[in-house]
Amino acid sequence: MSTFVTQKVPTYYNFADGEWTESTSNELIESYNPATGDLFSYSQKSNVRDVTAAIESVRHAFLTSDWAVNPKRRYEALLALAEHMTKNLERLSRILTIDQGKTIRESRGELAGCIDTLKYFAGAARTVFGRSMQLEPANFGVIVKEPIGVVGIISPWNWPALLMVRELAPALAAGNGVIVKPASLTPSISAEIFKLIAEIPRFPKGIVSLITGPGREIGAAMAASEKIDMISFTGDTATGKSIMETGAKTIKKIALELGGKSPNIVFEDANLDKAIPIIGRSIFISAGQICMAGSRVIIEESIKETVVQRLKEYAERLKVDNGLLETSDMGPLVSQNQLDIVQSFCDLGHQEGTIVTGGERLTGGSHDRGYYFKPTIIDGLPADSRVVQEEIFGPVLAIQTFTSEEEALHLANDSDFGLSAGVWTSNLNRAMRLSKGIQAGTVWINTYNKNFPEAEFGGYKQSGLGRTRGVDGLMEYCETKHVHIEVEEPGEEV
């Protein structure tokens, strides 16, 4: 629910035990439109007391409702949410764009992804299956999949709708109760989606809650709570490590989708007409604020000049402006803090390499009000440069080169991260060799950033733990139980 306060700025409330409530702190968080700097919404600055109450309500609903044992109800609830989101797609897209800054076209795509994910896991709710085994002549084992219990989902600000729904859908499909804490920078779109959940009676009262507020306080409280059985976190690697440490004290299950420094490897036999726009989009979509951004391009030396020039032309053609404009190709960064981080990396890139294009804030006219940054390409960096090795979360592409397949593979794997990668070549044998050798959870061949709810996604190394999407994504939210049955023969003595 939202009401309107000063200058018709909406105030969003927590959703717990089926009710919209104010935080006991009596404090609000202000959210600003990153394209204009205008105040966009208020949300609750919740505290540990609010989180504790919400966890209790979710646990009570999980233990007293039929949610965990009624897959048809879960199917109907998730499908109804997909239908509600479809009817509200354009309205939600505008809110997402104002909330986060991305273009309206990207927002429509993100929300379409939410709808597809909900439909997939609605069906999956009715196919949570185990298996049976004949263990001995009179002994049978039944392997049962059951919901874990209460799941805490901590979602990020960069794709705040999809990366929330991507975890919410399988957690609910498996029969769990869920409490969600969205990022404080972008709470509005999450609250709007929960407004739709509140309208669907197939969700039992209290089975899902939304609590907004600072992650250091309420996110940490969720990770520490003995009454939360699992934490799913999507965000930066440093915070993921902290959640692991806190969650270890109660031995709760942890699922993490963390950072990336993903490469696109371009061989001289690649179809550049296809590769260039896809590689460009892979780094400049959402102003580079995406975990799977193709933030490194590793180019065969013989075609480096051509590829760099074409990528430069692509970057300089992009129209960077308010995301609500249909003509915008890239919106602003999410905040002044994020802009400062990106600028600091570009300053380092200028010192250690060559700025091919961009490298600075976009100014003049309406750009002065928002957090706009030029699409940036940096060449000539040493392999150990922070620009090459660290996740920037901005529209910054680092150039690297190779002369052999072995060198290309070494450069691709020379990273603490292993979320995704792209390989561009017309040689199928080479593509398959690299797909086996690259240490990443997803390897795209002659494409990039294609994701489907039925195909698992996740990272190697410091890019995370576990998998989301697909069958494995559903099983992440299940416990496995062995039920052992010994059958007595007729007349057998006990």
Residues marked active site are found at: 257
Phi, psi of 135 (to 5 degrees): -95, -40
Q: Which of 371, 372, 350, 351 is nearest to 359 (CA)?
A: 350
